[in-house]
Amino acid sequence: MNTFNQTISCCTQLYQLPLTQLLLGDSFHPGGLTLTKKLAQKTLINRQSLVLDVAAGKGTSAKYLSAHYGAQVFALDLGLENLQDLLPSSSGRNKNLMPIVGDALSLPFVDNALDVVLCECTLCTFSNKSSALKEMYRVLRPGGFIAISDIYLNQPLPQSLTQDVSRWLCVADSCSALQSQECISATGFNKIQFNDESQHLITTIKTIEQKITKMGHLPIIKTQLDKLTDFPFKQLSQFIIDGNAGYYLLTARKQ
């Protein structure tokens, strides 16, 4: 393991766990490729587009954008294991798709280089959200788009929901919907479009709960699942239905 990998964030370690991948599938964000497609349409991604997927996870969205829109896509993540599927294999390499092990807080691109920067369900996990947004702004060309999807938290989580699972679902460290928009506007972005997509978060929570119930008896993952079986998923869903937390899509342009 190299020094870079030794210092990867706990978020990265969490998303590289087989259990996380089993429960979430290949797309580590609510709404999966349905919401990625919405972001692609809003940001006019096409064959000429240079797109960076920041914190790309397993690169599911990056693969989709290069295959369906013909865009040149860079998939950047802190975790090398996450990006394994995108590495060139004996069967060849997709020239439109480039995996990059790197840090969202120090993007390996020159200024004004890209048409679209995508960041799905990760902004809330960055220790310094405003530095991450500044980096995205720097590497975009004037008129270029950011495409964000993320969790918002309008009210503090009740004590019963402040467990590891909330951190794992990225709910624990989120800002409010208003704070997120203010932060994006303060970075210099304009033409902000905000869409509430909270129903996808509720569906994700329901799916995870069902998978845990189904797999609970498997001894190989029982120790890890035990922490999850007691979590009040229904209470979390109700908290979201009541408007205290949710999931949004946001696009904006560099001036």
Ligand X SMILES: C[S@@+](CC[C@H](N)C(=O)[O-])C[C@H]1O[C@@H](n2cnc3c(N)ncnc32)[C@H](O)[C@@H]1O
Which parts of this chain interact with ligand X (CB under 6 A)? Answer: 9, 11-12, 15, 27-29, 55-57, 60-61, 77-79, 82, 103-105, 120-122, 125, 170
In the bound state with ligand X, the residue whose beta carbon lies nearer, of 29 and 200, is: 29
Residue nearest to ligand X (CB): 57
Q: How far is the CB of 240 from ligand X (least distance, A)?
A: 17
Q: Name which of 21 and 179 has its Cβ closer to ligand X.
A: 21
Of 130 and 160, which CB lies nearer to ligand X in the complex structure?
130
CB of 16 to ligand X, least distance (A): 7
Q: Are 82 and 16 in contact (CB under 8 A)?
A: yes
Long-range contacts for 130-133 (Cβ within 8 Å, ≥24 apart)?
130/183, 130/186, 130/187, 131/105, 132/54, 132/104, 132/105, 133/183, 133/184, 133/187, 133/189
Nearer to ligand X, 78 or 218 (CB): 78
For the bound state, the minimum distance from the C-beta of residue 217 to ligand X, rounded and expressed in Å, comes to 27
CB of 83 to ligand X, least distance (A): 9
Q: How far is the CB of 191 from ligand X (least distance, A)?
A: 23
CB of 219 to ligand X, least distance (A): 28
Question: Which C-beta is closer to ligand X: that of 26 or that of 91?
Answer: 26
Measured from the CB atom, the residue of 41 and 255 that comes closer to ligand X is 41
